[in-house]
Amino acid sequence: CCGRLRRECPCPPRGLLSSLITKVLFGVVWSITEKECLPGGNLFGITVLFICSVTGGKLVGLIQLPKLPPFPPLLGMLLTGFLLRNIPVVTDAVYIDFRWSASLRNIALAVILARAGLGLDGSALKKLSMVCARVGMGPCIIEACTVAIVSHFLMGLPWIWGFILGFVLGAVSPAVVVPSMLLLQKDGYGLEQGIPTLLMAAGSFDDILAITGFTTCMGMAFATGSMWYNLLRGILEVGGGMVAGVLLGFLLRYFPSKDQDNVVMKRSFLLLGLSVFAVFGSNVAGFPGSGGLCTLVLAFLAGLGWRRSKVPVEDIVGIAWEVFQPLLFGLIGAEIQISELDKNTVGLGIGSLAIGLLVRVLFTFICVLCAGFNFKEKLFIALAWLPKATVQAAIGSTALDMARTKEDTELEKYGMDVLTVAVLSILLTAPIGALVIGLTGPPLSTQHREGSVFMKSSVPL
């Protein structure tokens, strides 16, 4: 009987049953949403974008060159969204309202910030060496300041918007660096000197500093009043975000209690729910700069309280990220429309990006001068600090979304400039950075195969 039931009603469904279930499901959705699930509707557009982004990511992930790290799937997701936006026939059918798009991207931002907060190691923070602190913070600040100055004079951005762009570009991408480092680590390169450990540990701090700087500058950019008022407001937003994060983080440490049933699932849903609430609630309250920092702090403190039991929570948050990652990169790619791009913005944006990267590489080299590495190893560490991807996608469109809510065309132009350069940075530095790490790692670092113990990386963004 059970065998017959299994044949008649297989799971997942196939054949006639599969077709019937699909039609019934579509009929239910259509009866509720009507035009929203048809071509030109939001649900139809989001579904097509998600499926195509996942497919594009899988296809790019299949590109594997010998002895080199794989290309990051996020490139395929980004390009898929870009193509869906710029193919005329497809564009009309795959329509997504900007409010839906902004909301989905904000949810993805909350998920990735929660994941980053959980991935921070409290013991590593206490034992953080000076070289790790220098590599994790110095290049980010220097690149942000460099891009702010260059974009102000080249692209005509106001100073505060220049710093917004600078901190967007100042973050390195662990999604590219970590897999590349793990591949080199597997072959024994740089283990004795601790190069993979250094770069993977410093990457999280680099990203958090960039996100904190970005949220602070964004709060100042959309504030009304004098310069001193805006500066004070930015400081208050940072302080308010940290205080709220501390309170919510301590709440999650003790509630729900560890003796409850399904405590992992409850903790995961509370963490994700509070993270999304912090991001959206800060925008509603008029303090957009505090939500991201609040999410980072609450996730970090909750993870400290859960200790080893945070690992299954990280797994569930990771599953949520697997769902929202294709949406995030696909929606970011879909924001770029070729017909509306200004050639000068693209050219000057690439110039600003290139100058910022050059200064970043040089300053990273300076940061490791007295760290016990030889010349080749210093050069490799500097070059490995190039790739940009996940953080740029997560926060690159936030300023544009905020400008649209203000209905200010000038601010929207600045926001689109920031987003355009952020997308260009992903398209240019993610594949090039992965190739540079893979090609320069073996010749520039020492191979050590036996007796090496290395630290497990934190969760990559």
Average pLDDT over residues 150-158: 93
Query: Which residue bears the tokens 């569930």?
Result: 316
Structure tokens at 147: 């891009």
Q: Count the neighbouring beta carbons within 10 Å of the beta carbon of residue 149.
A: 18
Q: What is the CA radius of gyration of the chain?
A: 23
For all residues of the chain together, what is the average pLDDT?
82
Instruction: For residue range 127-150, list pLDDT tens digits in order.
Output: 556 777 888 888 999 999 999 999
More confident call, 298 vs 390: 298
Of 148-162, 234-248, 415-429, the range with the lowest mean pLDDT is 234-248
- Counting Cα atoms < 13 Å in the Cβ hemisphere of 359 gives 22
Per DSSP, the three-state class of 390 is helix
* Confidence category of residue 455, pLDDT binned at 50, 70, 90: very low
pLDDT at 349: 93
Model confidence at 107: pLDDT above 80:
yes
What is the distance between the alpha carbons of residues 446 and 192, in angstroms, rounded to a whole number?
Answer: 8
* Confidence category of residue 28, pLDDT binned at 50, 70, 90: confident
How buried is 70 (Cβ within 10 angstroms: 0-12 exposed, 13-18 middle, 19+ buried)? middle
Model confidence at 301: pLDDT above 80:
yes
pLDDT at 461: 55
Average pLDDT over residues 169-182: 80
pTM score, whole prediction: 0.78
Model confidence at 270: pLDDT above 90:
yes
* Confidence category of residue 160, pLDDT binned at 50, 70, 90: very high
Q: Vertex 376, ends 433 and 424: CA angle to 5°? A: 15
| C-alpha distances in Å from residue 137, one per residue of 189, 289, 358, 377 | 25, 20, 16, 19
DSSP code, position 97: -
Of 3-17, 96-110, 301-315, the range with the lowest mean pLDDT is 3-17
- Across the strands, what pairs with 243? none
What is the distance between the alpha carbons of residues 387 and 23, in angstroms, rounded to a whole number?
Answer: 44
Average pLDDT over residues 413-422: 93
Per DSSP, the three-state class of 382 is helix
Instruction: For residue range 189-224, list pLDDT tens digits in order.
Output: 766 677 777 787 787 778 878 888 888 888 888 877
Q: Which class does domain 36-444 fall in?
A: mainly alpha
Instruction: For residue range 73-90, list pLDDT tens digits in order.
Output: 888 898 898 898 888 878
pLDDT at 364: 92
pLDDT at 459: 44
What is the distance between the alpha carbons of residues 407 and 400, in angstroms, rounded to a whole number?
Answer: 10
pLDDT at 267: 92
Contact 291, 237 (CB under 8 A): no
What is the distance between the alpha carbons of residues 438 and 180, in angstroms, rounded to a whole number?
Answer: 7
What is the distance between the alpha carbons of residues 433 and 425, in angstroms, rounded to a whole number?
Answer: 11
Percent of the chain with pLDDT over 90: 23
* Confidence category of residue 458, pLDDT binned at 50, 70, 90: very low
Contact 423, 346 (CB under 8 A): no
How buried is 275 (Cβ within 10 angstroms: 0-12 exposed, 13-18 middle, 19+ buried)? buried
pLDDT at 288: 73
What is the distance between the alpha carbons of residues 16 and 106, in angstroms, rounded to a whole number?
Answer: 39
pLDDT at 457: 42
| Contacting residues for 259 by C-beta, under 8 A, at least 6 apart | none
More confident call, 1 vs 435: 435
How buried is 47 (Cβ within 10 angstroms: 0-12 exposed, 13-18 middle, 19+ buried)? middle
- Counting Cα atoms < 13 Å in the Cβ hemisphere of 287 gives 21
| Domain map (residue ranges) of the chain | 36-444
pLDDT at 452: 44
